[in-house]
Amino acid sequence: MQRIASIVRQFLGGGVGAYALPAAALLAVIMGQRSSFGLFLSPINSSTAIGLATLSLAAAVGQLTWGLAQPVAGMLTDRYGPARVIAVGAALFALGNVALVVAPNAPSFLVALAFGGAVGAAAGGAPLLLGAVNQRVSPARRGLATGIVSAGGSAGQLTVAPASQAAIAATGWMNAMLLGALLTLAVIPLARAFRARSGDERSSGEEGARSAPIRAPLSPASRAAVRRAALRDPYYWLVTAGFSACGFHVSFMTTHMPGVIELCGMPASLAGTWLAIVGGCNIVGSIVSGMLIQKRSMPHMLMALYAARAVGVLCFLLAPKTPVVMLLFALWMGVTYMAALPPTSGLIARRYGAANLSTLLGLTMLFHQAASFLGVWLGGVAFEVSGSYDWMWMLDIALALAAVAVHLPLREGGSSGPLPGAARAAA
């Protein structure tokens, strides 16, 4: 038992247990619900008769709103600290769920869907949480911590997706939405882990200590200089372009895969299982990805991940559509699903400093969500126009290959031109 306890302490040392685990739990609840929204589309459409294309457009606008709010959430974190922003964001997300249930007519429902929980989700999203965690864990543990936080989103998908499916079947989509709101309110106390306290200024001195020192915050002028440098840096935009392809892919699948399964004549319950398998496999994929970024080339990792997605989608298109094929596709996609987040955030943190990660990754996430908008919306349009999703899958393959191409010129931490000294100091 002592040996096991020692291994656990070593694994969770350097601030991993104190900060990465609460962040992972918060992300699990928020992302678990967002990734399960596709399960609600059919029952919502049946009860409101709004139409799949219109619902898809509103959900797509929600993805875009989520992206627009993320750099703003990062800047608010610089001013007010992550604990307050996370707590307020979780409350807004819960309120968005309630708004969907009490909306009196179709226009107000669509507004709630497009804007209700999206702003709140940004305040509890991956960029803000990863930025807060990376500033608090020891540098040697950042890769593992990033992987654990990223895996939190998948853990939410693994647990929340089948729970949402069961709740919809047992109580209807409205009650399932309200249960999600209660779950979100229940995890707000976890934001207390990121409150500033006097002990945060003291160095732990050892990798296994509870927390790592938090550097003095950069001045507003220094933060602005780093952001201007990023916006002029081709390196930053290439990383952002690759991650945008990820947004198209992930959001299209989480929203429309239940429809794909139904179109193939398979039971609706398989959709919840599919999402759960993707989430379960990605827990492993995200943690392994986070551990590897300390040892392997992050651009090479991203090229391998995007190439694997292209191969997986192509094989899925060519294979007969059976339940076994669907589950094998979930296994393949799950390993790569959010595994791109640790190396993407790692490249940005290494280049511009961990202190700037919340804002800069938030801006990258804005473009990720713009692509998500297209993935969600065009998926609905494709089905209503053609009665299938075939050309969306082909577009997904093309974007994955484009993501491989944009990472070819990237090198670890290198790019054109020098960075401001503030960025190097914040790393």
Chain-centroid distance, C-alpha 242: 15
1 exposure class (CB count in 10 Å sphere: 0-12, 13-18, 19+): exposed
- Smallest CA-to-CA distance from 119 within 66, 188, 191, 59 is with 66
pLDDT in the model for residue 179 = 95
- Which one-letter amino acid corresponds to residue 316? F
pLDDT at site 308: 95
> Reduced to 3 states, what is the DSSP secondary structure of residue 416?
coil
Cβ neighbours of residue 102 closer than 8 Å, sequence gap 6 or more: none
The residue that leads in pLDDT, 427 or 335, is: 335
pLDDT value of position 195: 83
Sign of the alpha-carbon dihedral angle for 32, 35, 37, 39: negative
3-state class (DSSP) for residue 151: helix
Asked, for residue 210, whether it belongs to a domain, the answer is no
Mean pLDDT of 127-152: 83
Residue 2 lies in a domain: no
Q: What's the pLDDT score for residue 290?
A: 86
111-123 mean pLDDT: 74
Is the pLDDT confidence value at 340 over 80? yes
Whole-Å CA distances, 213 to 199, 200, 205: 9, 6, 9
**Taking residues 327-353, what's their average pLDDT?**
88
Q: Tell me which of 108-122, 135-149, 158-172 is least confident.
A: 108-122
Task: Kindly report the average pLDDT of the chain as a whole number.
Answer: 81
Among 408, 376, 427, which residue's Cα sits nearest to residue 56? 376
Confidence of residue 248 (pLDDT cuts 50, 70, 90): very high
Domain membership of residue 386 (yes or no) is yes
Whether residue 379 is contained in a domain is answered as yes
Residue 118 structural domain: 12-194+224-426
**pLDDT digit string, tens, across residues 33-77:** 887 888 888 888 888 878 877 887 887 788 778 878 888 887 888
Q: In this structure, is residue 199 part of a structural domain? A: no
Residue 391 belongs to domain with CATH number: 1.20.1250.20
The type of residue at 139 is: P
Residue 330 in any domain: the answer is yes
Whether residue 23 lies inside any domain: the answer is yes
- When mean pLDDT is compared over 56-60, 104-108, 204-208, 364-368, the highest value belongs to 364-368
Look at the chain and report how many structural domains it folds into.
1
pLDDT for residue 416 is more than 50 = no
Tell me, yes or no, whether 217 lies in a domain. Answer: no
Band (344; pLDDT cuts 50, 70, 90): very high
